[in-house]
Amino acid sequence: MKNKLILVYAFICMIFCSCATAQTGQSSIKTDSTAEKMLIYQLSNGAWPKQLEDGSVVKYETPLNDALMAKIKATTDKHATIDNKATSREINALVKAYKTTNNKAYLIAAQRGIDYLLKAQYANGGWPQYYPDKSIYRAEITYNDDAIVNVLNIMQDIATQANDFEVVDKSYVSKAENAVKRGIDCILKTQVLQNGKPTIWAAQYDQNTLKPAKARNFEPASLSTSEFVGIVRFLMRFKNPSLEIKNAISNAINWFEATKIKGYKFEKFPDGKDRGLIADPTAVIWARFYDFQTNKPIFGDRDNSIKDNVADISFERRNGYAWYGAWPNNLLNKEYPKWLKANP
């Protein structure tokens, strides 16, 4: 009887110790509050949405509640996208969170996102704005808002084991190298030619023909200045760049130097009621879109019309879009001269 009591006592102690060890191990796992939310928002195909099923924008600072959780659960894979930094933003954040916390769940989620990006890449090297949804302009190769550049920077970080991406499984390195190689090939092929001379890039391209394409009605097929900056910065990342990459960079820079608009800024008028060009002798800006043949600024409207004066489009569009900007200033004045010195 005594021996049985001893065995029972030992068994109870073993269970207690096991539970205590499990609880101690569980509490030792560090977490990151934003990364935890990203795990919840991640779609079944590994990507992330920029908007939920009801159209609400994904904001990680928004507290989770039952209503929001229901919206997240209702959001399907058709919302998977690289637009507005979606998916690339989360992969970057989760990799950094893993480095900080050593929480394996974050690395697994990031690698699922990388798998999505690899799968979404076209054979020609481009990426669609959305995948697998191919409706309207979502299947087009999309440089707009740095969508593809954000993806290519991740792939290059994996390939070179940089910016915390050394934590990613080494099996991804060769895959990322291949994705970067094909991506650069797509960039070089889509640089728009004028009389055989390379200029800059359009914001979107047909995924089959690689010809520039329109997106929304007010975003016509055109030379797109905002996107150029991110593309050139990506190409400037490479040590010992090929002659093709050097030429792509220098030709784009030359085009920008030739299309500067000096002496104006695009802001609210003094009465605060409308926006337009205002004289400013210190300002240097560029239009968002330029005509392929003439290099003159063009402006689209919701009715699919194209104007050559921003004052001629609707009030709503004139005041609701970045028609002019100083996007390339740092690139032209600081980054490119530094790069050129290293790559004469």
Q: What is the CATH number of the domain that holds 107?
A: 1.50.10.20
Task: Tell whether 35 and 183 lie within a shared domain.
Answer: yes
Which residue in the list 45, 84, 103, 153 is annotated as catalytic? Answer: 84
H-helix segments, 122-239 = 147-160, 171-190, 225-235
The pLDDT of residue 28: 75
Digitized pLDDT (tens) for each residue of the chain, 344 residues in all:
434 343 333 333 333 334 444 444 445 789 999 999 999 999 999 999 999 999 999 999 999 999 999 999 999 999 999 999 999 999 999 999 999 999 999 999 999 999 999 999 999 999 999 999 999 999 999 999 999 999 999 999 999 999 999 999 999 999 999 999 999 999 999 999 999 999 999 999 999 999 999 999 999 999 999 888 999 999 999 999 999 999 999 999 999 999 999 999 999 999 999 999 999 999 999 999 999 999 999 999 999 999 999 999 999 999 999 999 999 999 999 999 999 999 98
- Among candidate residues 153, 169, 190, the one where a domain is terminated: 190
Does residue 141 fall inside a structural domain? yes
Do 123 and 234 share a domain, yes or no?
Answer: no
Specify if 220 maps to a domain: yes
In percent, how much of the chain has pLDDT > 90?
90
Tell me the residue length of the chain. 344
- Shared domain for 86 and 207, answered yes or no, is no
pLDDT at 25: 46
Active site residue 217: no
CA distances from 255 to 218, 225, 298, 309 (A): 24, 10, 16, 21
CA angle 235, 153, 197 (to 5 degrees): 25
Tell whether 342 is covered by a domain.
Answer: yes
Residue 3 lies inside a defined structural domain of this protein: no
pTM over 0.85: yes
108 and 205, same domain (yes or no): no
| 148 domain residue, yes or no | yes
What distance in Å separates the CA atoms of residue 289 and residue 272, rounded to the nearest whole number? 25
Domain that holds residue 145: 31-190
Answer whether 80's CB lies under 8 Å from 48's CB: yes
DSSP-derived secondary structure letter, 63: P
Decide if 329 contacts 283 (C-beta within 8 A): no
Q: Is 88 exposed, middle or buried (0-12, 13-18, 19+ CB in 10 A)?
A: buried
User: What residues does 307 pair with on adjacent strands?
Assistant: 299
Three-state DSSP class for residue 49 = strand
Clarify whether 138 is annotated catalytic: no
Radius of gyration from C-alpha coordinates of the chain: 25
Based on the domain organization, do 162 and 211 belong to the same domain? no
275-287 and 261-268 beta bridge pairing: antiparallel
When divided into structural domains, the chain yields a total of 2
pLDDT given at position 227: 84
- The catalytic residue among 163, 216, 217, 295 is 216
